Amino acid sequence: MGRIGKTYPRPLSSGQAPIVKGRVLFLAPKEAMRYHLLARQMPYVKPKARISNRTVLAMVLQGPPAPLATIRKDVPAELVAICEKAMAREAGDRYADTLALAEDLRAFLEHRVVGAYETGAWAETKKWVERNKPLALSLAAGVLALVGGLLVSVSLGAEANRQERIAKANLEDVLSLSAVVDLPEQLAGLIRRADELWPAHPENVPKYEEWLRDAQVLLDGRKADEAKGTIANLGLADQIRKLAEVDARAVPMSEAEREAERRAHPRAAELDQKKALLGWLSRMLGTEPRRTQVSVEAELEREALPTDANGLNRLAWVLVDVTGRAPGDEVRALVLARRAVAAADPADQPACRDTLAWALYRNGQFVDALEIRGDIRPLKSIVLSAPMQSGDLQIVKLAKNGSLVKPGDIVVEFDGRRPPV
């Protein structure tokens, strides 16, 4: 189907054809059939509609038929492109010949690139994947595995670098702590060397200079020098700062851990004795309350104790022995000693009463202790004598009998000046 746009007649001479100018509107029957097959309706004619040929011609002159994509959504886009290129109104937009049309149709059937639809490397790649799906899936899996391995490798490398930085930081902390621990020894070494260099003598000048260099390194620090085989040494201020940083990052110890550490100390027993003695002195001065005898009696009732005087006396004496353990259970000792005295026969009374006296002393009941023992036995006595000088001495100050004195207090003061007549 076609139509000549315009005709310009002119006088004809013999053997000449008329000159035709204009545009040829084209719609070949086979292209109309291809459109009909894809759209399931004829070009320019709606389904079940009946129109005349003149009407169709008028519609052809007016414009192209409705696009296939608006009529059928399920038609492959490549077939739509082939049909629309074959039905193009401009001759330059149509296929050059049927071979070109056949090549695009064959490419569509063989899952190759259709020139009327798209071209380029990406289009070729997509069509290759469609034709070789198993191989493409294998390659894709290989690429994914390679990329995944690369990502894992990069991640592991980053983690290794992070761990290396942490290890270096921990090593610096350990070295810093070692330097802090060795600091007293280094200071003691410098002091010892200084003592050995005394008295000063000109021949010791090189040793003095070496001592000053070592002291300067201890104060200011020193950088590592592989050529000389020297390691880095932090200065005193840096050591203190590093120790504070490590202490800030340290996990706080629980009370149980602190107690276990105290118990593991070689002088833990000595500390317990000092604490017990301090507690006893506090109770003697009245700054700390004592246990009541009622509570101790109730506690002893729940224990399996000996009933004989010697057995009770031995338990009490362990708690009051001044040459043994530190005080701390003086109320328990007093209750046990009284039970021992109550159960003792005349032969055991002296030993039990002696233990009771010491228990009373431990509890601060000195008068009762004297009544039990009948005498005073000081643990330590000091004899005071007047100064040796000519003339008479007069006592001008004398501490009251029984008063509490401390080291350095004046107990007695003499005046050697002769009194006026």
Q: Is residue 356 part of a domain?
A: yes
Same domain membership, residue 113 and residue 194: no
Residue 149 lies in a domain: yes
Write the DSSP assignment of 286-315 as a string of letters.
TSSPPPPHHHHHHHHHTS----SHHHHHHH
Residue 71's region, left for phi above 0, alpha for psi from -120 to 50, else beta, is alpha
- Within-domain flag for 399: no
- Print pLDDT tens along the chain (421 aa): 444 444 444 554 445 555 545 555 555 666 677 676 676 667 767 777 777 777 777 777 776 777 777 777 777 878 778 777 777 777 777 787 878 878 878 887 777 877 777 777 777 777 777 777 777 677 778 888 888 888 888 888 888 888 888 877 676 666 666 666 677 788 888 888 888 888 788 888 888 888 888 888 888 877 767 676 666 677 778 777 877 877 787 788 889 998 898 889 999 888 888 888 888 888 888 898 988 999 999 999 999 999 899 999 999 998 886 665 556 788 999 999 999 999 999 999 989 999 999 899 888 888 788 777 665 555 666 777 767 765 677 778 888 766 777 788 888 887 766 655 5
Domain hosting 324: range is 282-373
User: Does one domain contain both 64 and 115?
Assistant: yes
Both 123 and 157 in one domain: the answer is no
Q: Are residues 329 and 345 in the same domain?
A: yes
Nearest 5°: phi and psi at 5?
-65, -65
In-domain check, residue 268: no
Is-above-0.85 flag for pTM? no
Looking at the fold, whether 111 and 157 belong to one and the same domain comes out as: no
Length of the chain: 421
How many domains does one find in the chain? 3
Task: Provide the 3-class DSSP secondary structure of residue 7.
Answer: strand
Whether 42 maps to a domain, the answer reads yes
Q: Would residue 272 count as lying in a domain?
A: no
Residue 190 and residue 126 share a domain: no
Q: Please, where are the H alpha helices in 63-132?
A: 68-71, 77-86, 98-109, 121-131
